[in-house]
Amino acid sequence: MLPKTLVQMVDDRKEIRIRAARQEDLAPVERLLVATGLAPDGIDDHLPTILIAEHEHQIVATAALEIYKDSALLRSVAVDPDVRGTGVGKRITMEAINLAQRLGIDRLFLLTETAGEFFPKFGFRVVSRVGIPDLVKSSIEFTSMCADTALAMELRL
């Protein structure tokens, strides 16, 4: 019998574990972000709300929340290119949304330049930046990491 490929193993939901990140996960998370074209700037400031999906101790996806009172910014949603299309991105995004709900977040925002068709599946809708709370707009994503052309989206929880 041939060994399973990483995609086949990840496809089997029992093989993937989603958990809160730990300090030792920060470097691999940053590498995954860079490998997928996302900036890791400031991610270490949000360790308590970083989630990772792992397969056999390898981080294959990540998502993080930046909390701003009753609002939050969903950031750093990244999936290893070798496992895209297996549902891992959907699972970690749902876990991040569930975490936001458990934390009492009312409004969840994000900026995206490449995934404008992915996030509406979870109820996110495109919004004007004008209505986004100033605290959220003070984040590094809004001030320097994401281009002004990035799509702003909101999910009301």
- The CATH number of domain 6-156 is 3.40.630.30: yes
Q: What is the CA radius of gyration of the chain?
A: 15
Q: What percent of the chain has pLDDT above 90?
A: 65
- The residue-averaged pLDDT of 17-28 equals 95
Contact 125, 154 (CB under 8 A): yes
Which sequence spans correspond to the domains of the chain?
A: 6-156
> Does the pTM exceed 0.85?
yes
> pLDDT grade, residue 2 (50/70/90)?
very low
Say if residue 1's pLDDT is above 80.
Answer: no
- The residue-averaged pLDDT of 107-131 equals 92
Tens of pLDDT, residues 34-59 = 999 988 988 999 999 999 999 888 99
Say if residue 71's pLDDT is above 80.
Answer: yes
Share the mean pLDDT of the chain: 88
> pLDDT grade, residue 147 (50/70/90)?
low
